[in-house]
Structure 1
Amino acid sequence: MYTKKRNLKKGLNEVYTIYKGRQVSLLKPINSSSRSFHGALKWILITAQCFGQIPVIGITKPDVKLFKFKWKSWRTFYCILNCTGAFFLTSTYVINVFVNGMDIFSSTSVAFHINTLAVTLLFLKLATQWPKLMYKWAEMEQSMKRYGWPPYLHIRLNVLTLIVLSIALVEYTIVKTNKFLISKKYKTNESIFEYYITITLYPHIFPYTKYAHWKGVILQIMNILLTFSWTFNDLFIMLISTGLAVRFQEITVRLRTLKSLKSTTIETWREIREDYNRLSQLTKTVDNALSYIILASFTNNLFFILAQLFNSLRPMKDTLEKVYFFFSFGFMIIRTVSVSIYGAWIYDESKEPTTILNSILSDTYNVEIKRFINQIKFDTVALSGKHFFYIRRGLILSMAGAIVTYELVLIQFNVNLLQEETSENGTITYS
């Protein structure tokens, strides 16, 4: 086995090894715009900014040094305007609860708006940290460029985004269609849109202000923006988890290759251990930036699963309502499980090298391998909800047990609601 260098176009050098008669590349040239995590997220972040999230300047640039956050920019102004609208709607729902009281059904609207307001503010805070975070991510990619670019990562991220947002759009269309048909059925002298806004969607607002079409349009726009942030919260965690997990996968693949080689130096094992350490440090940096977002995601999902389960005990009026309930409840379950699995993917991949390292032959074993094993054994590399919990596979079972327990308590304290007839507000619609 021997190593060579050959000149490539644009002055790049590619280091490759001849092993068993085959040419194995150790250093692949990486295009800074497309073969980078920030490049793979480009169109996703552009979509998010259209809905007032993560107002960072320069996300289409190939160099992370060009990423900036400025308070005096139209992106930030749009995001703050979004936060202001979310705060207004949240305040109206909270005031309505204090005036008219609260039950499990009215609390869902309050919880939805509180969560979306919190998430929008948290993404604004993340935007201030995003340039620095992506710079550290780019440094990690630069140090690991000899591993190559994770196959189809950009396609995987875009397909995941397309699937999640498409399902969310279908859900949103179903619920709005249901409410529109209700408005069409019960309207009197008002137009359908006026009845839809003043009676069906926001009956607690218009007793205090006169209706105007421009007010209805603004409220609908705000509802769309908040619904997007409600879905994007979970999606963003899955995207970040994918970007980190595939990098840990590359280290595992590299370890399998080294294990098969008959002669390896201690410097080689030190390099891969240092790569793992840099990736672990990046994961902890990402966790510090995303902890509150993760906590908001799991809190929101847990609450709405409980609310939907309770709502399932009540009779439903028509077919469309049943379709919406089963579609929405299924989507909520899939979202919660997906966030847990994608988040746990990081932890699983960070522990995978242990099996390989423990099976290395004694004549190859050295002090760097021992250090590597100890680091993996005693270090927890995972995303967390502000360290209240770590996202591992066992979290799904813990949540399932908690849901059963809390649902029984919820039924016990709200058994009188189950005896009432189904009302127009009986269906949980998150808006």
Structure 2
Amino acid sequence: MYSKEFRKLLRPNNLLLPKQPNHDDFLYVIRKVFHLSSLFGVYGSKSYMNLLWSAVVLGSLLIIEVMAIWKVIKALAGLARDISGNRSVTARLSGTIFYSISILSLILSSKLCYSWRKLSQVWAKVERSVGVNIPADKTLKRRMVCVAGTMMFFSLLEHVLSIASSIGVDCPVPLMLKRYVLVSHGFIFMGQDYSEWFALPLVIISTIASLLWNFQDQLIVLISMGLTSRYHRLNQCLAKICLLEKKQMQSDKRVEAVKVYTWRKLREAYVKQASLVRSMDSALGGIIIFSCSCNFYFICLQLFLVITQGPSSNILTGIYYVVSLLWLCVRVGSVVLAASDVNVHSRIALKYLYSYETHGYNVEVDRLQDQLTKDYIALSGMGFFYLNKTILLQMAGAIITYELVLIQFDDQGNDGLQVNITK
């Protein structure tokens, strides 16, 4: 006969009609993250102040971008007064790309934030209609807060190091602001163009641009953690059912109907979870492909600077190049590994189904196994590529290839490439 524990699990009140949670930790944390993101210009609420501040940030970034593009055109046309050092064509181009990334990141993040109201309703609906009593993830909120705080801290640390490397150790305090603006934004301004009226706003906007660039990666990681947590909870529920049924050696026809109904609701829960992943993938697709492209470019640039210029630079610049490169690699690794966990956890249930006892096998178990085997679940870059663990090796190979090409065609040595990518 079935054990008392298994009978208790199969009771409708314990498994099939779960008590609905009053709130979802994932939705709570993401809502707080979007609320804080309004401080650096991400628009997502109906507040007029948020809309005004977002417009100011976007307008400021567009002005800097237009000036940077104009300077690149002048440098390519041979009309620039100075194309050496941090005013070289390469430095001007990297500055232009950095601010274009910030603009697109602001637009894509605002679009996701604005549409999150509907996406959160989809998420909550799936949570409420799951049909089985899956265990709660009590550590998700703490892990998400730690990840968000850590990524924000290291983003600011990298930006502070970029400021320190621009200023140097020999700069008098009254001239720190001027030196930072002329060095970090030398692709736009020359000494005679400097004015204190735009120096401080430029520092603020450059800091916001750095935060926006990092924020897109943070969104991918946090949403991936939420999706992975839901798969982990479903897998725990399935594993518990398989373990309890494995202990039963006899069949009881009185509970067979409940067992089939239980497996049907569990299979439907996986179907709803797959639908939720696809909804999130549709919303995140543009951010994913944009994030991977930008990080790939700047990893190549920073690695090139470390190889060609790091040893000959001053100590602060060398430290900045190394820390920036390491942080970029950590960010890319975090994004890929967090997103690939969704794919990994979507297939973990198969190992329990493959070892499932034959005496408890039914049509719903067979359907669930077939569904998990044939349905490929993963976050992607608008369908062009999927974020799984193999893509890390592909990116590493591509980076090495492009670095060899850059070094081979670097006719002018280090070409005065002293440019901080986090302005």
Letter in 1 for 2:300: L
Q: Are the counterparts in 1 of residues 166 and 317 from structure 2 also a CA contact under 8 Å?
A: no
Structure 2 vs 1, CA of residues 234 and 419 (structure 1 numbering), >3 Å: closer, same or farther? Answer: closer
Structure 2 vs 1, CA of residues 84 and 110 (structure 1 numbering), >3 Å: closer, same or farther? Answer: same
Aligned partner of 2:177 in structure 1 is 193
- Partner SS, residue 49 of structure 1: helix
- Partner SS, residue 351 of structure 2: helix
1:46 deviation in Å?
2.4
Aligned partner of 2:344 in structure 1 is 348
Q: Are the counterparts in 2 of residues 140 and 278 from structure 1 also a CA contact under 8 Å?
A: yes
1:419 deviation in Å?
5.9
- What are the within-5 Å matches in structure 2 for residues 26-425 of structure 1? 27-28=18-19, 30-32=21-23, 35-53=24-42, 55-57=43-45, 70=46, 73-101=48-76, 103-144=89-130, 146-181=133-168, 184=171, 191-197=175-181, 199-206=182-189, 211-260=194-243, 261=245, 262=248, 265-314=259-308, 315-413=311-409, 415-418=410-413, 420=415, 423=416, 425=417
Structure 2 residues not aligned, in runs of 5+: 77-87, 249-254
CA distance in 2, matches of 1:183, 1:82: 33
1:14-50 Cα offsets, whole Å, 9 max, x none, are xx97369xx9787355232xx4322122332222111
Q: Are the counterparts in 1 of residues 71 and 187 from structure 2 also a CA contact under 8 Å?
A: yes
1:393 deviation in Å?
0.6
Higher helix share: 2
1:427 deviation in Å?
4.3
Bigger relative contact order, structure 1 or 2, given CA contacts below 8 A and separation 6+? Answer: 2
Q: Are the counterparts in 1 of residues 277 and 379 from structure 2 also a CA contact under 8 Å?
A: yes
CA distance in 2, matches of 1:251, 1:204: 53
Aligned partner of 1:430 in structure 2 is 422
1:74 deviation in Å?
2.0
1:192 deviation in Å?
3.9
- Partner SS, residue 418 of structure 1: coil
Structure 1 residues not aligned, in runs of 5+: 5-15, 58-69
- Partner SS, residue 8 of structure 2: strand
Aligned length: 394
Q: Are the counterparts in 2 of residues 104 and 307 from structure 1 also a CA contact under 8 Å?
A: no
Give the structure-1-normalised TM-score.
Answer: 0.84
Letter in 1 for 2:165: N
1:237-295 Cα offsets, whole Å, 9 max, x none, are 00000000010011111111111224661111110111111111011011111101001
1:400 deviation in Å?
0.9
1:3 deviation in Å?
9.8
1:295-315 Cα offsets, whole Å, 9 max, x none, are 111001111111111112224
Q: Are the counterparts in 2 of residues 311 and 427 from structure 1 also a CA contact under 8 Å?
A: no
Deviates more, 1:256-265 or 1:279-288: 256-265
Structure 2 vs 1, CA of residues 182 and 97 (structure 1 numbering), >3 Å: closer, same or farther? Answer: farther
1:352-401 Cα offsets, whole Å, 9 max, x none, are 11111122122222221222122222222111111110000111011111
CA distance in 2, matches of 1:271, 1:19: 14
Letter in 1 for 2:319: V
Give the structure-2-normalised TM-score.
Answer: 0.85
Letter in 1 for 2:44: V
Deviates more, 1:351-360 or 1:138-147: 138-147
Letter in 2 for 1:98: I
1:103 deviation in Å?
4.7
Deviates more, 1:281-290 or 1:361-370: 361-370
CA distance in 2, matches of 1:419, 1:36: 49
1:210 deviation in Å?
5.7
Aligned partner of 1:18 in structure 2 is 8
1:345 deviation in Å?
0.4
CA distance in 2, matches of 1:388, 1:3: 51
CA distance in 2, matches of 1:276, 1:376: 8
Letter in 1 for 2:95: S
CA distance in 2, matches of 1:280, 1:48: 28
CA distance in 1, matches of 2:191, 2:89: 23
Q: Are the counterparts in 2 of residues 28 and 147 from structure 1 also a CA contact under 8 Å?
A: no
- Partner SS, residue 356 of structure 2: coil
Letter in 2 for 1:356: Y
Deviates more, 1:361-370 or 1:170-179: 361-370
1:52 deviation in Å?
1.2
- Partner SS, residue 31 of structure 1: coil
